[in-house]
């Protein structure tokens, strides 16, 4: 059976001369397993891809420390990309900037650490077209904290938070905050993912189906980390921290590898929650994990340059850690 891309190619090949961009898009469709309902949508996605390709080319031309390439987002509309940004509708109480931040690294901590290569993280997940990044950031931070604090690596349910924590301030696929998710988990231990699997990837929040008797992962407290780079390094040295970044830029969304160092291109308007899982003081970057699957970034991870407040992509503005129940 022919692929959709091959069928489209056969349909329209007699009507036009194919350009290099046409073939580039066809390769993209095949590589990422894209499927479109009709020729009209195919043409729309092709136009979006071409526009994105031009933006990637600019980044590739200007950047010396990071590489940028196509990923699953390359044929998405602006509205579809915005659906991923679960902080966009939330009032974020940013930590106040410190009076003085000289950018020096913290003293008395390891030169480098990566909790996700130290068996303290679960695999990268994909939130789908739901603004549930806040739930994935909150849960991933809880999971790692429990492993470090109590020795067991649970796989907790993001869906439990997405569907059930609205009375604590969260709005399911329409956004939320990690601290609201943790407040929920203070009195409602989360179920495991196997008991309450994720189902909101299509953008539907879903009704709550929580069974308290199956709860295994709870929170005792959470706290804001400082906003200086040295304070954040100190926090991450103890466990991964939930952070907020601006992620609506082509610079962030097309990131493929290397270290993001272009603060102007990344911005500081917080709209997305991720997790800081480590750092490298020798090469001067934080290691973060996203919830957009493994086709984004470095198999789901990224390196953000360590700079003074407000931080790369605004990450120093809101950094939070959590203490979990045994």
pLDDT digits (tens, 9 = 90+) for 81-117: 999 999 998 998 888 877 677 767 999 999 999 999 9
pLDDT, residue 16, reads: 62
Asked about 183 being catalytic, the answer comes back as: no
pLDDT, residue 127, reads: 98
Under 8 Å between Cβ of 84 and 247: yes
Domains of the chain: which residue ranges?
Answer: 4-68, 78-324
pLDDT, residue 2, reads: 46
Catalytic residue among 130, 133, 266, 313: 133
Per-residue pLDDT of the chain (326 residues; tens, 9 = 90+): 445 555 555 445 445 668 999 999 999 999 999 999 999 999 999 999 999 999 999 999 999 999 999 999 999 999 999 999 999 989 988 888 776 777 679 999 999 999 999 999 999 999 999 999 999 999 999 999 999 999 999 999 999 999 999 999 999 999 999 999 999 999 999 999 999 999 999 999 999 999 999 999 999 999 999 999 999 999 999 999 999 999 999 999 999 999 999 999 999 999 999 999 999 999 999 999 999 999 999 999 999 999 999 999 999 999 999 999 99
* Cα–Cα distance measured from residue 321 to residue 242, given in angstroms and rounded to the nearest whole number: 6
Q: In the 3-class helix/strand/coil scheme, how is the chain assigned residue by residue?
A: CCCHHHHHHHHHHHHCCCCHHHHHHHHHHHHCCCCCCCHHHHHHHHHHHHHHHHHHHHHHHHCCCEEECCCCCCCCCHHHHHCCCCCCCCCCCCCCCCCCCCCCCCCCCCCEEEHHHCCCCCCCCECCCCCCHHHHHHHHHHHHHHHHHHCCCCCECHHHHHHHCHHHCCCHHHCCCHHHHHHHHHHCCECECCCCCCCCCCCCCCCCCCCHHHCCECEEEEEECCCCHHHHHHHHCCCCEEEEECCCCHHHHCEEEEEECCHHHHCCCCCEEEEEEEEECCCCEEEEECCECCCCCECCEEEEECCCCCCHHHHHHCEEEEEECC
177-231 tens-digit pLDDT = 999 999 999 999 999 999 999 999 999 999 999 999 999 999 999 999 999 999 9
pLDDT, residue 247, reads: 98
Catalytic residue among 290, 303, 316, 321: 290
Asked about 272 being catalytic, the answer comes back as: yes
pLDDT, residue 3, reads: 53
CATH topology of domain 78-324: Cathepsin B; Chain A (3.90.70)
Catalytic residue among 272, 303, 313, 321: 272
pLDDT, residue 291, reads: 98
Asked about 105 being catalytic, the answer comes back as: no
């Amino acid at each position: 059976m022919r692929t959709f891309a091959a069928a489209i190619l056969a349909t329209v090949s007699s009507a036009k001369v194919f350009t290099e961009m046409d073939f580039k898009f066809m390769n993209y469709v095949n590589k990422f397993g894209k499927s479109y309902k009709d020729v009209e949508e195919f043409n729309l996605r092709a136009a979006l891809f071409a526009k994105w390709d031009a933006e990637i080319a600019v980044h590739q031309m200007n950047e010396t420390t990071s590489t940028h390439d196509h990923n699953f987002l390359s044929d998405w509309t602006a509205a579809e990309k915005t659906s991923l940004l679960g902080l966009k509708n939330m009032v974020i109480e940013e930590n106040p900037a410190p009076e003085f931040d000289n950018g020096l690294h913290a003293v008395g901590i390891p030169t480098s650490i990566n909790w996700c290569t130290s068996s303290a993280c679960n695999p990268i997940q994909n939130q789908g077209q739901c603004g549930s990044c806040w739930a994935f950031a909150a849960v991933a931070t809880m999971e790692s904290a429990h492993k470090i604090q109590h020795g067991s690596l649970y796989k907790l349910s993001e869906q439990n938070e997405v569907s059930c924590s609205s009375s604590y301030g969260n709005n399911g696929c329409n956004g939320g905050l990690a601290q609201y998710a943790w407040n929920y988990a203070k009195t409602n231990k989360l179920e495991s993912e196997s008991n309450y699997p994720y189902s909101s990837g299509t953008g539907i929040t879903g009704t709550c189906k929580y069974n308290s008797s199956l709860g295994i992962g709870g929170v005792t407290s959470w706290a804001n980390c400082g906003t200086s780079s040295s304070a954040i390094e100190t926090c991450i040295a103890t466990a991964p921290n939930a952070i907020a970044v601006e992620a609506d830029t082509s610079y962030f969304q097309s990131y493929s590898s290397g270290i993001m160092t272009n603060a102007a291109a990344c911005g500081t308007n917080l709209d997305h929650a991720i997790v800081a899982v480590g750092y490298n003081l020798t090469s001067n970057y934080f290691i973060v994990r996203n919830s957009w699957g493994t086709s984004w970034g470095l198999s789901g991870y990224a390196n953000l340059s360590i700079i003074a407040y407000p931080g790369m992509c605004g990450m120093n503005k809101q950094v939070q850690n959590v203490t979990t129940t045994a």
